[in-house]
Structure 1
């Protein structure tokens, strides 16, 4: 088939089947613009591969197969996105539930008990002087990392290190209370 006949045949094929294929795709993807894009891509795929097809191939069936596969890909993509959104929503609900349970289990008298205050004071006293000073400036005086770094002539990375070190030691010292809090949260 010469170039002119190919173009003429393609135009006839397009005119005869485009609307039918768009209706077919729309029945699945439910968005006219998406269906039109899929069908246009299918015709483009046919045009680009027409010379590689066997002479006895059925062009409308070939194009419809491409439309079908593109619709499947589109719907599977939506399905994956919906699953991800569902998992995100479930995770968000779980976090909200944890926060609600945490607030319900929160006992200010327990949190400010002498025992916990003694553990915190003892832990802070056991820290190296610079770590303790950085932590106290940040947590008790509300200074930013930048302000502390400037005041103590340290880098912000050093401030981050000292804060991290203090928090790690506090978590370790309060681990029994943290486990008790977690127990109260999950089994309350």
Structure 2
């Protein structure tokens, strides 16, 4: 998403636009579930926590001023809800003694990881059709010759398109790293 689209999304969200809210949900839901699951190790509860986090975003939407603050708010609310859930359930099990997920380093590392995956997935979706198929097959473990056979193209075409696709994806992730440092 471009910077302009990001700021438009935030502005529409602030106005209470349900479509903007739905777009935000679709963009972040999977990543936030994976992020929450790093804390909870329970995907069902992770999904519940993320849904609660989105309700909180809706409740505080008028206070969100930028896309960067929106992302930060989403991850922070999700983390806090996870930690509250763990503390409330700590009496049932003694899981929390010395748990590393209470550290800021654990939080930051997982935010970076999930944002990187989210952006990589988004970048792959934006690749030209043939390049996207090649990268998806490669990520599934296909070798160059297998990809060429699967798509009925030459192995040199596979190599060239894969090289260009990875170059584009590195640029996307590189831009993300710069933007993330500004947050």
With the length of structure 1 as denominator, give the TM-score of the two structures: 0.39
Task: Give 1 or 2 for the bigger CA radius of gyration.
Answer: 1
With the length of structure 2 as denominator, give the TM-score of the two structures: 0.40
Higher RCO (C-alpha 8 Å, min separation 6): 2
